[in-house]
Amino acid sequence: MSTEKAITVDHLTKKFGDFTAVDGISFEVNKSEIFGFLGANGAGKTTAMRMLCGLSKPTSGKATVAGFDVYHQTESIKKNIGYMSQKFSLYEDLTVKENIRFYAGIYGKSDEFIKEKTSFVLKNLHLENEAGKLVKSLPLGWKQKLAFSVAIFHEPGIVFLDEPTGGVDPVTRREFWNMIYQAADSGITIFVTTHYMDEAEYCNRVCIMVDGRIEAMDTPQQLKKTYTAASMDEVFLKLARKALRSGE
Amino acid sequence: MKPAVTAKNIVKFYGTKNNKIQALRSISFEVGKGELFGIIGPDGAGKTSLFRILTTLLLADEGEATIDSFDVVKDYKEIRKRVGYMPGRFSLYQDLTVAENLEFFATIFNTSIEKNYDLIKDIYVQIEPFKKRRAGKLSGGMKQKLALCCALIHSPLILFLDEPTTGVDAVSRKEFWEMLKKLKQQGITILVSTPYMDEAGKCDRVALMQSGKIMSIDTPDGIIEKFEKDLFAVRSSKMLSLLNDLKNFEEVEDTYFFGAYHHVVMKHKNKEDMLKNYLLKYAADDLEIKAVRPNIEDCFMSLMKN
Q: How confident is the model over B151-206, as pLDDT tens digits?
A: 999 999 999 999 998 877 888 888 899 999 999 999 999 999 999 999 999 999 99
Query: Which residues 13-52 of B are in CB contact (within 8 Å) with A?
Result: 41-45
Inform me whether the pLDDT recorded for A2 exceeds 70: no
- Judgement on whether residues B167 and B298 belong to the same structural domain of the protein: no
Domain A33-44+81-240 CATH class label: alpha beta
Which residues of chain A have a CB within 8 Å of the CB of B170?
40, 195, 197, 233, 236-237, 240
Count of domains for chain B: 2
Residue of B171, B199, B265, B295 to mutate, testing the A interface (most A Cβ within 10 Å of its Cβ): B171
Asked whether residue A218 carries a pLDDT value surpassing 70, the answer given is yes
> What DSSP string describes chain A?
----EEEEEEEEEEEETTEEEEEEEEEEEETT-EEEEEE-TTSSHHHHHHHHTTSS--SEEEEEETTEETTT-HHHHHHHEEEEESSS-S-TTSBHHHHHHHHHHHTT--HHHHHHHHHHHHHHTT-GGGTTSBGGGS-HHHHHHHHHHHHTTT--SEEEEESTTTT--HHHHHHHHHHHHHHHHTT-EEEEE-S-HHHHTTSSEEEEEETTEEEEEE-HHHHHHHTT-SSHHHHHHHHHTT------
Closest Cβ–Cβ partner in A174, A221, A248 for B139: A248
pLDDT of res. A1: 46
Question: B139 to chain A: which residues are within 8 Å by CB?
Answer: 41-42, 246-248
Computed over every residue of chain B, the mean pLDDT equals 93
The CATH number covering residue B282 comes to 3.30.70
Predicted confidence (pLDDT) at residue B102 exceeds the cutoff of 90: yes
Is pLDDT at B141 greater than 90 in this prediction?
no
Does B95 lie in the same domain as B144? yes
Among candidate residues B225, B241, B262, the one where a domain is terminated:
B225
Identify whether residues B205 and B261 lie together within a single domain.
Answer: no
Domain boundary among B203, B225, B247: B225
Residue A247 has pLDDT above 70, yes or no: no
The ranges assigned to domains in chain A are: 33-44+81-240
Name, of A163-167, A240-244, B229-233, the range with top average pLDDT: B229-233
Interface predicted TM-score (ipTM) of this complex, two decimals = 0.82
Residue A130 has pLDDT above 80, yes or no: yes
B211 shares its domain with B98: yes
Last residue of a domain, one of B225, B242, B260: B225
Do residue B42 and residue B14 come from a single domain?
yes
**Strands B5-15, B158-162: pairing kind:** unpaired
* pLDDT band, residue A248 (cuts 50/70/90): very low
Are B135 and B169 members of one domain? yes
The whole domain housing B240 covers 231-305
pLDDT tens by residue, A135-177: 988 888 889 999 999 999 999 999 999 989 888 899 999 999 9
Lowest mean pLDDT among A216-220, A233-237, B219-223: A233-237
Is B115 a residue whose pLDDT tops 60? yes
Let me know whether B97 and B241 are in one domain. no
Same domain, B137 and B269: no
pLDDT at A88: 67
Query: At residue A3, does pLDDT exceed 70?
Result: no
